[in-house]
Amino acid sequence: MNLRSQLSDEALVDRMREGDEEAFALLYRRRQPDIYRFVLGMSNSRMATEDVTQEVFINLIRYAGRFDPTRGSVRSFLYGIARNCLLQHFERERPYVTYDGEIPENGSSALEKILQPDMNNPLAGLTTAELLNDLRQAVLTLPLKYREAVVLCDLQEMGYVEAAAVMRCPVGTVRSRLHRGRELLLQKLKPGGSVNHRAARKRACC
């Protein structure tokens, strides 16, 4: 077994600073899937996701010296870089990329937790696949500050403390944005809501 594979993210960054290319490759393989899913959940465009994810790791090479383990983990550092790259992408591509049908890998179970099924579920008559499809579209219509809270905490299942480090805000702000984001999702998915209404019209036309 390659001994490098047992090193922590922090140790790999230290080796990167010394010019160890294999350490970068290992860190890339370890963390690229998480960053890819985060970017895809925020933009839902495969092309944009591939570009931004590549940019994140290029920036990691450039700015590895800025990583401070006393301020958070390498994972949080990478998410912070990804967030900055996304904001720059959205600014360049305003309005942000619309939904194109891509589904974040391993995202279904996490998204299902946003809306717990019960008798009052506004989408109780829909199949699980329809619900998740509508939910993904609804997430993409959220204002950015609420969208990133939902994607980080619900889709990526990140804790409040780490999400706060990525979003550069207090933990209380993460909680309030997540709560408001979920409220907006419910409104959009209720009968007559924007996403539910579009989905109903699409099904009626088929």
Q: Are 80 and 165 contacting, i.e. CB atoms less than 8 angstroms apart?
A: yes
Condensed to tens digits (0 to 9), the pLDDT of residues 41-76 reads 898 788 999 999 999 999 999 999 999 998 889 999
- Residues 47-69: b if buried by 16+ CB within 10 A, e if exposed: ebbeebbebbbebbeeebeebee
**Cα distance between residue 153 and residue 16, in whole Å:** 29
Position 155 scores a pLDDT of: 85
Position 94 scores a pLDDT of: 66
pTM of the model: 0.73
User: What string of pLDDT tens digits covers the 206 residues of the chain?
Assistant: 466 678 999 999 999 999 999 999 999 999 999 999 999 989 878 899 999 999 999 999 999 999 999 888 999 999 999 999 998 988 887 654 443 334 344 444 444 454 444 434 444 444 555 666 777 788 889 999 999 999 999 888 899 999 999 999 999 999 999 999 988 988 888 766 665 545 444 443 44
Please name the residues in contact with 155: beta carbons below 8 A apart, sequence gap of 6 or more: 37, 38, 41, 104, 107, 110, 111, 139
Position 91 scores a pLDDT of: 83
**Cα distance between residue 177 and residue 172, in whole Å:** 9
Which domains can be identified in the chain, with CATH numbers?
Answer: 3-92 (1.10.1740.10), 108-205 (1.10.10.10)
Position 115 scores a pLDDT of: 47
Condensed to tens digits (0 to 9), the pLDDT of residues 121-134 reads 444 444 555 666 77
Position 136 scores a pLDDT of: 78
Nearest to 44 by CA among 126, 88, 107, 92: 107
Q: Are 138 and 188 contacting, i.e. CB atoms less than 8 angstroms apart?
A: yes
